Structures are given as C-alpha cells and as structure tokens.
Amino acid sequence: MQLKHLRTLLTPQDGAAKVTCMAWAPNSAKFAVCTVDRVILLYDEQGERRDKFSTKPADSKYGKKSYTVKSMAFSPDSTKIAIAQTDNIIFVYKIGEDWGDKKVICNKFVQTSAVTCLLWPAEHSIVFGLAEGKIRVANTKTNKSSTIYGTESYVVSLTSNVSGKGILSGHADGTVVRYFFDDEGSGESQGKLLTHPCPPYALAWGSSSIIVAGCDKKIVAYGKEGHILQTFDYSRDRSEKEFTVAATSPSGQSVVLGSYDRLRVFNWSPRRAAWDEASPKEIPNLYTITALAWKKDGSRLCAGTLCGGVEQFDCCLRRSIYKNKFEMTYVGLSQVIVKNLSTGTRVVLKSHYAYEIDEVKIMGRDRYLVAHTSETLLLGDLGSNRLSEVAWQGSGGNEKFFFENETVCMVFNAGELTLVEYGNNEILGSVRTEFMNPHLIRCALI
C-alpha cells in the first residue's frame, strides 16, 4: 500500500497547537478533529468542514482550560461521539445524522482519574483506559461503567482487532495486555501478552500480527502469543525521532506509524507471513505526528500534527478502470472499492477471511460483481449492495455465471450447479447435472 498526499484539511499554525485526537465515523460520512482549543471540527467525506462544537469541562467552575481531550470515537451507528477528558470524565454527544443538528450530551461517565484513551467497538459499550491503569467499559444504555481489568501502570494506548471483539492496552511500564469480549474461536490467550522495552505509545493490531513502537526508535512485530517476529531498528538513523502513534487499516493488512516529518508504512505479506516495509512518506516541516485516523473503507488516512495541521492521504495498492465504467481501488490485499463512474456509488468488497482477492469482474448487464480468492468465491449485487463470500475450491476460473434471478446467482462448473443467495455467506445448495439452461430452472426462496 502506498500513501499519496491529497490535501490539507486544517492549516498548521506557527507554534505548538497539538491535534489531540481524530476519528472517522463507521459509515465514512463524517470525520472529526479535536483542536488544541478543545473544539471538535466535523468534516464531510470529501474533506469539507461542515460543522463544529465546543467540548465542556466536568465542572464549569474550573473553566475551559482545566482539561484536555485525550481521545474520541464515533458510535457504531455514527450518530454520537464519545469524548475522553483529563478532568476524569467521558461525555457522549449526540450529533445527529444531518449537518447542523443540535449537539446534545446524552451520557456522562465520571471516573476516579484522567481518561487517557477510548474505543467504541459495540453498540452500547465504550472501552477506555485510565491514568491509574484500569481498563473499564461504559454502558450508554444503563449510564454505568465497570472495570474489565486493572493494572498499576498508566494506560498510554488502546486498540482493537479488526472485528472489534478483542482489545489491546499499552501501559507506561511497557506492558501490553490482551482481552477478548469474544475470541471468535481463535483460542488466543488473555491477560499480559508481552513487555515492550519502552512505553508502547504506537500500538497496532493487524490481522496476523501486533506492531508496537515508542521512544527507542524501534518497531517490533509480535506474534499472536507475544513472541518477536521482526524488528525494524532505526536507532542509528539521526533523522528519525520517537514513534508517537499507529493506525491499522480496516482490513488489518497494513499499519502506518507516525513520528517526526514521516509516516512509515508496513504491509503484511501472507506468503512470507511477515511485514514488508513500503517507501516511507516524508513531508518536511510536518513536525511530530500526534494523531492518525483511517477511513472505514480503507481509502483515506488522515494525520494530525503537533502544530495543529491535518493532512489527508489516499491509500491504495493499485487502481484500475474496468470497461470505462467502473473504478477498482485495491486498498488492501483482501479489500476492493468498486466505484460506478457515472453514478458515483461505491461498494466495498472485502474477504471476511482476509484472503487475497484476485481480479474483480462486473457481469450481468453491469449489475453483478464476481471475484475469486484462493479459498472462496465472492459475489455481489451492486443494485442492492448485497455481498456474499462462500467456500469455493479453485477451478481455474472456468465457471459459468447466470444472473437471471435477482436474489440468487447460479454457478455452473464441471458438471455441478451451485446456488448462492446474494447477502448469504453459505451455499444454498448444489446438484450434479451435465446440462444447464437457466430458463428451465425456477428458484424461489421461502
């Protein structure tokens, strides 16, 4: 994956004016930036500033300069923002679906120490870390919070896996702890996972590995049980500074780390089972990168800086035009954005098993998409945005596809007819036959 600079969303100032945190909405329609003045700026998908609102202190008598905002996250439905503050509180603002909707505080969670980092992985559950070392969860339905686990060390970073069902917390003493709400059958351990040589401010959880970095100028890739896979040592590079922040692509197959005037990009190679370093993105006078946020479809990365600037980058492995009608943007090995050039509508095609997607084809009067991986077949209806991924053994691409039915795709290959419902990841059924005519078959779902 390569980064290409697109535009400056927020012009940097002459001195320190740190962008403290940023977040993309899950539906990709909104992008939020928190400035040094504790104001939340809201941008649309194209990068135009459309709205803003001011945060507030836990107690008004202490004034607006009594706290800083450490982290924020959108709700899964993209209509709320949770704000983590150093004055021992989390505010949840309802921002609505439309620009200009009134911003209303709908939840607040008072804590016993500063809230240092925050995630919102599930509908009513906000996960956050405290300066006293605890990892807690706040329930927006009951307006109560409880401790998941406790440590004795300040929480410097918090990240989740691709599914959002597991979390990693990084602590000032170098400890990295793993916790699963649901291990999804992986069997991976919980609890203390590893001890890094320095505070893990840059912490990323990819689909196959964990990347950790900090002030020692080294980037270390760890395996799923905490053993070292790779070390990238920049300690002798006098132009390199400490690594301050990391972000994982939505597919989990790329990681970007920010330092001083530079973004380092790493892509996971399934064939080598290792990380490959791409060409770093170097921007003179960018200064220290303080925040990173990746758009949920994987196509954009935003970087906030110590001087208050926000830069937007295009993320792409490769891009191609299909039949002069569709643009295919490969944002990861297992994720492709299909854009209709005439209507502007987009569909994100993703392998749920992180398999590498081969060429994507548009068939059936430019309405249906077909793609293969080494183990699966991906089908989709562009009209209804229903996508399927079913187990499929490689057959050299000799299948014949029939799209006469709007809800079911008929696939004929090597004397076997297979039925796949759009939006269903299980094969409906298959039957042996030497003769195939879609006009002689009636398929109805009950």
At 332 the pLDDT is: 84
Percent of the chain at pLDDT above 90? 81
Closest CA to 93 of 69, 110, 72, 112: 72
385 and 401 in a common domain: yes
At 436 the pLDDT is: 72
Q: Point out the domain boundary residue: 267, 291, 315.
A: 315
Confidence tier at 446 by pLDDT (50, 70, 90)? low
In our burial notation (b when 16+ CB lie closer than 10 A, e otherwise), range 243-270 reads bbbbbbbbbbbbbbbbbbbbbbbbbbee
224 and 94 in a common domain: yes
302 and 423 in a common domain: no
311 and 265 in a common domain: yes
Confidence tier at 70 by pLDDT (50, 70, 90)? very high
Question: What pTM value is reported for the model?
Answer: 0.89
Q: At 289, which CATH number?
A: 2.130.10.10
At 359 the pLDDT is: 86
**pLDDT value at 442 more than 80:** no
- pLDDT per residue over 290-313, tens digit each? 999 999 999 999 999 999 999 999
82 and 66 in a common domain: yes
For residue 161, being part of any structural domain is answered with yes
At 21 the pLDDT is: 97
Q: Which pair of tokens denotes residue 442?
A: 């009636």
305 and 325 in a common domain: no
For residue 342, being part of any structural domain is answered with yes
Q: Point out the domain boundary residue: 292, 315, 338.
A: 315
**pLDDT value at 213 more than 90:** yes
For residue 445, being part of any structural domain is answered with no
At 232 the pLDDT is: 97
Cβ pair 141, 124 in contact under 8 A: yes
Confidence tier at 219 by pLDDT (50, 70, 90)? very high
- pLDDT per residue over 112-126, tens digit each? 999 999 999 999 999
**pLDDT value at 437 more than 80:** no
At 427 the pLDDT is: 94
> Mean pLDDT, to the nearest integer, of 212-236?
96
311 and 356 in a common domain: no
Amino acid found at 57: P
SS3 assignment, position 61: helix
Confidence tier at 97 by pLDDT (50, 70, 90)? confident
104 and 240 in a common domain: yes
188 and 114 in a common domain: yes
**Interatomic CA distance for residues 108 and 302, integer angstroms:** 28
Percent of the chain at pLDDT above 70? 98
299 and 209 in a common domain: yes
Confidence tier at 395 by pLDDT (50, 70, 90)? low
Residues paired with residue 98 on neighbouring β-strands, in sequence order: none
Q: Which pair of tokens denotes residue 358?
A: 């081969």
Phi and psi at 439, nearest 5°, equal: -75, -10
- pLDDT per residue over 139-185, tens digit each? 999 999 999 999 999 999 999 999 999 999 999 999 999 999 998 88
157 and 286 in a common domain: yes
**Interatomic CA distance for residues 80 and 60, integer angstroms:** 22
For residue 170, being part of any structural domain is answered with yes
Q: Which pair of tokens denotes residue 125?
A: 């559950």
Q: Which pair of tokens denotes residue 408?
A: 């079911």
- pLDDT per residue over 345-373, tens digit each? 999 999 988 888 988 999 999 999 999 99
For residue 446, being part of any structural domain is answered with no
Range of the domain at 393: 319-440
Q: Point out the domain boundary residue: 315, 334, 366.
A: 315
For residue 125, being part of any structural domain is answered with yes
Q: How many domains does the chain have?
A: 2
Q: At 393, which CATH number?
A: 2.40.128
Amino acid found at 102: K
Amino acid found at 185: G
Q: Half-sphere exposure (CA, 13 Å, Cβ side) for 436?
A: 19
At 434 the pLDDT is: 78
418 and 406 in a common domain: yes
CA distances from 84 to 176, 291, 358, 370 (A): 21, 15, 42, 43
